[in-house]
Structure 1
Amino acid sequence: MYASLQTPRDLARTDRNKNLRDDRPEFQKHLLSAKSLSIADVDRLCRTAEDYELGALPPADVIGKTVALLFFQPSTRTRMGFEAAIVALGCHPIGMENMTASRSNTRSGETLEDCAAVISRLSDLIVVRHHEVGAAERMAAKSLKPIINGGDGWNEHPTQALIDIFSLRRGLGTIRGKSICFGGDPRGRTVRSLVQLLRFESPREVVFCPPAHYEVPADLLATLSEHQIRCRIVHNLDIPLHESDAIMMAPYDMSDIGEPAASGYVSPRMTPETHRLTAERVLNANSNALIYHPMPRLDEIDPSCDELPNAMYFEQVRLSKFMRMAVLGELLSIGTYP
């Protein structure tokens, strides 16, 4: 039972809150891939995220629900970001701090399908991160409740892509006609999901600045080509600093992204100067390119950049809570599947 504690200011927002979802069709059952989102979905979620940022109250049918956080890979920002959004919606997060101790791992042999069948009977929604490509899809096949893919190996991270689009639209006003650069390892799941959403945004071009020893994945190039978005590959950040409107940075090497939690693999931690941003470099270029990063950063963005007016990555984190609230709110409103 939840008592109403609305202030006069809250009551004045009642109509806004009633209309939060009036203009949307029924959302898909799960959020597994950015490929499943339409432009209408992206626009609606951005509007809802902005409403939450402005103080809109969560839908009454969401308050009090339980969200299970199953992170089979280590996570700080994504896990805490979801927890912050869950609490802000008036919901309850549950989960294990160390999923390597769970029976749902390779050591004990419980399948992801069984894990989903069990946890979906104890919660109203599941957020899963796993080192295996397709893990979220496997769980969705047996889950009675919505599944959000919080990252599955090299494959996808759709909520981060939504956060990135929300942040890019906020910083640039519009992505249409702009030059968007990806700096760092192009193989990461955040890059793949964001490229899928950029197909709706009509940028002038997408520029990749990858390490010379890693090729841009063919499926990313094919998506851009299919949607007639110009693509360039460069090997020095000086070019996008002068020519791009926004640079979405990533670590120089993300080879640990497909590793299980107990793996001892450590990615290289040295970024060459050609692929590293410092305040001096940005200022010498007289660059107005907005700098983003899904985090965590290693050494690819020097802390000297943090106070630059075009450093957007901490604002990107602030906005992430509202987009996660929007996604959670929609999926929690759907209910149980037959």
Structure 2
Amino acid sequence: MALRTNKKMAAPQLATKSGYGRMATLLVVAAGVVALALPIAMPDPYFVHSCIVVLLFAYMATSWNFVCGYVGQLSIGHAMFAGVGGYATVLIFSRLGISPWLGMLAGGVLAAMQSVVVGYPTFRLKGPYFALTTIAFAEMIRIWVENTDTFLGIPLNGAAGITVPLVGESWMAFQFNGKTPYYYVILVMLVLALLATWRLERSKLGFYLKAIRGDRDAAEALGISPARYQLVALAISAFMTGVGGGFYAQFFRYVNADRLIGVEFSIDLALMSIIGGQGTVFGPLLGAVLLTPIAEITRGHLGGVLPGLHIVIYGIILILAVLYLPKGLIDPLRSILSRLSKNGRSA
């Protein structure tokens, strides 16, 4: 009798999960269709530019979440990986004439190599000590770049930064007259990052990272090497962030240490992921969709009068999220989808 009862109870639960999965899939497909049609339906250059910035931050926050959301360590120095990718992409193109498409990949590889150097000693630390150490590394790199005009014959131009040489519209040079091509490039990059996160959740590496986040000592007792798998995750995250830094440089056609390697940039990525729902596939995307327009509006209209206002607003939103939505914006969205699936099934 108990077995029959359990089977009867399990059937509605499976149906609920199936209904939820269908609702989630429909929502993702609908969002994808809207994203593909957006620059065609609303071709205004400023609007498309704003959408590109949202997608770029969503991509970068997803890259941050790839390690920090699943490992459980808070990195406030991820901007250094974006800086390596951005500077490498511009220098490889301007000095060697190599296409930025290859330069972005090279920048990602250099960022991954840098992450191993940084991560090996820092992953031995826990909690706030890890976060403080990542800030220290990023600030050291930023200060060094800002005060270095030339390094080994390579012009870094110090605080002035580097401008991308203009060669006219060219796919190989990653330069376009309009905004729409950039939009679709970053959209593809974001989709690939989301797919990588989705695959991580279902991979052996993902299970190991969740085990380390849950109880590091217990995971180590089971034969899982925290240092090894955390470094692997950090290297992948840094590679993705470095590629994003390369896109940033090519899109804005300019790169400097203050913006791309600054702590503010790292804080943006962390807050977007945390508020949206770290350790989830779509949480960073939700956080970027909410916070990026706020940052752009406050910088554009109040940046000269009240600089840093968007950080204050971020802080208020973060406090409210911690108090009322500790799992991020993704949690109420899941609840809504679950209710809709139940209502649709009952109807």
Scaled by the length of structure 1, the TM-score of the pair is 0.25
